Structure 1
């Protein structure tokens, strides 16, 4: 029986409508959007039968099995908890939450409901990440010695709640690849806040820093990691990147888009090809690694700046649907998502405390 999916939030969320419609194990039965005109326009375009302007009414629908949340960040945790308690499986775009208390609430709701929760982190299903994971798994990299992640993005022009957001409060694009490749969760963080943003931006969240840079210790691992973030008033071409230092080879992300990624074999740098990984997907959704739903004039900002998130969208939807069908934890379950999200929250707390070390909670245990 197909998993009956509903999507909440039709900006970035619309990218997933045709993927679920085409997936052999899913049925896209409803969409939800506060603005009724947008709801009708998108639902009419894709032929979606169920239409809601109220999230609460949507999750009360007994004909919906799973909800994919693509709403504003401040709503993620509360909506995830509400949907899980309503008996729905939940996929949620990043980050999981905006506080440690919210992270715990989602973890507990997932545990108590017995339903699937998956955070839809794009980087760890991008073609670049899948290629590097191959290089790690086949021994090309050797022992991982150190990992570095960064995400630099100018957020001017994004919705108002982004204004002045602490850089590390949106850090999972930089955190997730380093922790996944290390095969470990974060244990503690020390973070330096650097530079200053305008008083007008600072006033929104009380966060003055232009850049936040963190060093992570990893649980039960000798490997360390570094993560850097900027959101405002820091000049840099958009980049979500990671670098993996190994005993045999080091993968280094390209410095500018199109320059090419580099594999340092010993001390010799070589270009590294990054293929597409559509062959890992059901044939019905394979084309969505390269095709978005927007035309050139109407692409979502995340798609324009992020180069389509590395073809990750169908991989994410497929993992979520298969986890529900198979009754298994997804690759980014609630405990993992909480750890990745908490790294950023605790990093910002560290920066505000002058670089004090902050322990990351163990979300597999009790609060």
Structure 2
């Protein structure tokens, strides 16, 4: 587990999963690292992502770091021979996305973009209705995502909307197992920046 802000929420899930062994956590802030690792009884602790990637006992990493780091950290992990799960978005440039795809094709490693909204109770309820035929034929879907940003890291206000589009695009596509032909994003204009 890399990044223990939002990432800490996944620790108990991995610890309870019968097919996963959470063996290490990584956080730049050593005090926070030790506090969470002690609370969840995790022995291996890293303040350096590069050192974690050198550990031969680690097969996969789950990246929960700030958005600007997702692409480069995913690329580093794939180059180090690790499978990758990464919170959204995958990266912030087309070039990084292309490099991640290329590395998975070359190495056979798995990359998974971890869009959590498709596991939310609201989505699962709609999915059940759809799969049971209770919604009828879906002809048009539209989605939006509003999020209270109070208390979030300071890079969030003013974040380009396309960098975080998956919370509204993901469920719409997942419901019907569709693919997007076009996605456009419009910010609220409430970024607090001029």
The interval holding the TM-score normalised by the smaller chain is: over 0.9
Greater percentage in strand: 1
SS at structure 1 position matched to 2:152: coil
What is the CA–CA distance in structure 2 between the aligned matches of 1:78 and 1:109, rounded to whole Å? 12
1:53 paired residue among 47, 57, 65:
47
SS at structure 2 position matched to 1:157: coil
- 1:206-245: per-residue Cα shift (whole Å, max 9, x none)? xxxxxxxxxxxxxxxxxxxxxxxxxxxxxxxxxxxxxxxx
- Structure 1 residues 135, 195: CA separation in 2 closer, same or farther (over 3 Å shift)? closer
Alignment of 1:75-94 (within 5 A): 75-94=69-88
1:67 paired residue among 45, 57, 61:
61
Structure 1 residue 147: deviation in Å?
A: 0.7
Matched, 1:201 2:181: no
- With normalisation by structure 1, the TM-score equals 0.50
Structure 1 residue 190: deviation in Å?
A: 5.0
- With normalisation by structure 2, the TM-score equals 0.92
Determine the structure 2 residue equivalent to 1:130.
Answer: 124
1:29 paired residue among 23, 39, 42:
23
Q: Report which structure shows greater RCO (CA 8 Å, sep ≥6).
A: 1
Q: Which runs of 5+ in 2 are unaligned?
A: none
Q: Which runs of 5+ in 1 are unaligned?
A: 1-6, 203-367
Q: What RMSD, in angstroms, separates the aligned Cα atoms of the two structures? A: 1.8
Determine the structure 2 residue equivalent to 1:227.
Answer: none
Determine the structure 2 residue equivalent to 1:149.
Answer: 143
SS at structure 2 position matched to 1:64: coil
What is the CA–CA distance in structure 1 between the aligned matches of 2:187 and 2:12, rounded to whole Å? 42
Q: Contact conserved, 2:3 with 2:27, CA < 8 A, in 1?
A: yes
Q: Contact conserved, 2:27 with 2:33, CA < 8 A, in 1?
A: yes
SS at structure 1 position matched to 2:145: strand
What is the CA–CA distance in structure 1 between the aligned matches of 2:84 and 2:187, rounded to whole Å? 36
Structure 1 residue 158: deviation in Å?
A: 1.7
- 1:153-172: per-residue Cα shift (whole Å, max 9, x none)? 23243212213112232111
Number of residue-to-residue matches in the alignment:
194
